[in-house]
Amino acid sequence: MATPAAQKRLTREFQILQKSPVPLITAHPSESNILEWHCLLTGAPDTPYHNGQYWCTLIFPPNYPFAPPAIRMHTPSGRFQTNTRLCLSISDYHPKSFNPAWSVSTILIGLMSFMNSEEMTAGSVGGTEAERKWHAARSRWFNSTGGGTASKPVAGVQISTKGLGGIKAGDGGRKFKAEFPEEHTENCEWMTEHRIDPATGKILPDPEGEPIHCSPETQAIRRILGGSGGGVGAVVHGGQAARNAGQGWIWRNKYWIMAGFFLVYVMAGRVFGEDD
């Protein structure tokens, strides 16, 4: 439960955001809990995230602004792991470096700045430019469907609810719709316009015998997603999943790997020493 000081501070910051919105960023507290904020970052031009819609949550501590929030990204981006606390100087990973003068706007601007960089930290993903463009093209679909229908989640979409504020993939987009009803409606219209299958995120085949006049945006989406089949999109997603799996295995077993190298080094030293 928020302290009176945190309640007052967050209420004032929300009022400021409404009067002076930050470009490419929208944010609001949950109706049931002022410590839980839902935010949308729009991918900036001239970046692989251009026109992507990235949903994140800020979970503030009861004693904010004297401690920073936990930050989680829920939309796959090729830059961050989903539903995972991000290690940033503005997050709860580094409470001693947090400045009480920093506001919600400061935190979100810092998050977007970090997203557009290549710095790696806990919770980061080293995706390629093609993978990030692919995720950006699917971001609206992912947010408004939760990564597919509730009964048939899309293969390869991570299902995770770990941590406070975790969002379940394959939930049919219920949580996103509840927090962003207007954006959800726009996303559904966007999927219809660009012939995106709500169940899979793939482009639907063109109707036989009907000429399709694609807008420049639709043509760009088709190039990125690889048409109505798996195509380029499947290859990109497969490469991303494989790399994430490899990075996860190495990271989880790094101490055993180091111990193995050390043991080999010691045994080699003994063998060559006996030969001498």
Distance CA 139, CA 146 (A): 10
Element housing 59 (H / E): strand 53-59
160, exposed or middle or buried, with CB in 10 Å at 0-12, 13-18, 19+? Answer: middle
**Is residue 55 helix, strand or coil?**
strand
Q: Which residues are catalytic?
A: 87
Burial code (b: 16+ CB inside 10 Å, e: under 16) for 68-95 equals bbbbbbbbbbbbbbbbbbbebebbbbee
Place of tokens 């935190």: 107
| Phi, psi values for residue 58, rounded to 5° | -115, 120
| Amino acid at site 270 | R
| Amino acid at site 62 | P
**Structure tokens given for 158:** 């991570």
Distance CA 219, CA 178 (A): 31
Place of tokens 């015998």: 209
Distance CA 58, CA 43 (A): 18
Distance CA 150, CA 99 (A): 41
Q: Write the CA distances from 21 to 18, 225, 276, integer angstroms.
A: 6, 32, 74
Element housing 37 (H / E): strand 36-42
